[in-house]
Structure 1
């Protein structure tokens, strides 16, 4: 199951465009198994609560639908969660508070995630590259006992964490958020993946997942192409993904200022996109 972590289209002044987001969803829909809106790749941390709400209102999503809701306090995160549920979200993907990470005790984690679970079905989001926050395994095991905390996206790239979830949190749905180790993640128990690079080449990573699940390994050439694609778009982030989608004729817009409109990795990406197109992996 491949789910793109969608970009948020914006004009050059940084105004979000809900119509453009719908167009991208419609274009991706035949190639993916669901959608994440307002995650890390969606630049959600740069958006005000009312901007998030306005983006969600009126979206038509006909496949499983995650919305990012994490913030620095439970009241703020609940505000995002309520807007997401009102828009029809199936799952709330929640990062923990991170600025005052030393105050995140076991009790604080429980208060935050249990409070969000009062609003909707919650998935935990572990993305240490951005949060710089430790998320102890035993706390995840405790949170997973809650009937409305049913899954997680783990973007750490640490396969040992995935093995722990499979061994100690039976029945908990775990998705990888790291395209670099997707085959290993599947072998270690991940049931799917929510990937930024799913905006550009979702079928490529779906093929990696299917081969690993069905054959126990991935063809070397396919694995190498997926690795190169994940590395490049991981380095380039939302700036490069938006530039690639514009190149493909989609209304991705630009990153919100102060981030640059174009990526220093573009020439490399243009060559890679040519190869992906030639081999039939692009949208």
Structure 2
């Protein structure tokens, strides 16, 4: 059994020095207007409009929904989009071609990143950089941003775009980046998906439509039409505990035949459902565990890995468990999985991401508070979590 700190040390030796090559300031400024001297049409800094390419302008028009977002000023959105598209327009095609197959066949540990906030509620981009570097140094196989754990549901569209831009810039192609672009409105989901693809995302995570209660055909079209609209792999996200509906197995089977739908994050916790999915899809369709406590069971039925909350706390061990199983060292994978099972479970003592953020703050990783309606962990649960972290050697 290898201690977590030894795994991290080995990863550093294996992967060499991993310093971020970040261009520009360490974190985006609070007011994006400072990128231009004046403001012209669409909120674009004066004198800079001509630098937009036709592709960037087209993408901007597709994202008109941002401009009316509550609490987002037209000026900030225009300047933000100027920055995003100018940074990524020239390398989008190359990056998409280079990484598409890499993510489509990705196996391993994909961390569902938290979004760190300052005490005033703003995104802490400096800490986000630190967390991303920590994951890469630990050998994490992929990054998911704007998932459930990332609190995208309480962030503005402008903040979402800024987090995606920052994540892709810091990661700089060292591992694939998946971005959550899901919505219960298909048109909005398509618009967001196109934006994140244009920014350099390697894959998209698409949640099942919540609240609307779509029938099977509506659910199929929700996913299929989004996949038709982009050129990077789409991963389905089944999490009925959040959405109130499960993607029918028959719909997954149909979607698995779509050339641009590469897998599913299965977070129902229902192994019978997961086995039915495994039985009806082909070997190129990735099945990711969306629940840390059943990572090894999912791997045992042909799963490709895990999209993990636990990896925020012990990234190297999470990666090691999956790697051991995929390498055929099933006994060691199971041993470590069972060893840290209590911690995996205690990270869900309350609704995610309340416990994982509490754990990271206890460990000295200043990820800050949640945004309402999520609030701090109850005292009794926090004490239980602290004891489990101590037993795991993390405090």
Structure 2 length normalisation: TM-score? 0.66
| Unmatched 5+ stretches in structure 2 | 1-107
Question: Radius of gyration: which is bigger?
Answer: 2
Whole-Å separation in 2 of the counterparts to 1:219 and 1:51: 38
For residues 197-221 of structure 1, what are the alpha-carbon distances to aligned partners after superposition, in whole Å with 9 as ceiling and x for unaligned?
A: 1100123333333444424445775
Post-superposition offset of 1:80: 2.3
Post-superposition offset of 1:22: 2.1
Whole-Å separation in 1 of the counterparts to 2:279 and 2:334: 29
Whole-Å separation in 1 of the counterparts to 2:296 and 2:270: 13
Q: Does 1:114 align with 2:228?
A: no
Change (3 A) 1:14 1:138: same
Which residue in the other structure is 1:57 paired with? 165
Aligned 8 A contact 1:49 1:79 in 2: no
For residues 69-98 of structure 1, what are the alpha-carbon distances to aligned partners after superposition, in whole Å with 9 as ceiling and x for unaligned?
A: 111201221232133213321110000211
Change (3 A) 1:274 1:148: same
Q: Does 1:143 align with 2:255?
A: yes
Whole-Å separation in 2 of the counterparts to 1:258 and 1:158: 28
Q: CA RMSD in A?
A: 2.1
Q: Which moved more, 1:221-230 or 1:120-129?
A: 221-230
Q: Does 1:19 align with 2:126?
A: yes
Whole-Å separation in 2 of the counterparts to 1:193 and 1:266: 25
Q: Does 1:261 align with 2:369?
A: no
Listed as ranges, the matches of 1:44-123 within 5 Å are 44-59=152-167, 60-61=170-171, 62-101=174-213, 104-117=214-227, 118-119=229-230, 120-123=232-235
Listed as ranges, the matches of 1:145-160 within 5 Å are 145-160=257-272
> Which of 296, 302, 323 is 1:183 aligned to?
296
Whole-Å separation in 2 of the counterparts to 1:114 and 1:139: 10
Q: Which moved more, 1:143-152 or 1:53-62?
A: 53-62
Which residue in the other structure is 1:277 paired with? 393
- In the comparison of the two structures, how many residue pairs are matched? 277
Whole-Å separation in 2 of the counterparts to 1:140 and 1:204: 31
Aligned 8 A contact 1:95 1:126 in 2: yes
Whole-Å separation in 1 of the counterparts to 2:241 and 2:374: 18
Structure 1 length normalisation: TM-score? 0.90
For residues 227-255 of structure 1, what are the alpha-carbon distances to aligned partners after superposition, in whole Å with 9 as ceiling and x for unaligned?
A: 10111002232122112222223231210
> Which of 213, 216, 234 is 2:348 aligned to?
234
| Unmatched 5+ stretches in structure 1 | none
Q: Which moved more, 1:264-273 or 1:220-229?
A: 220-229
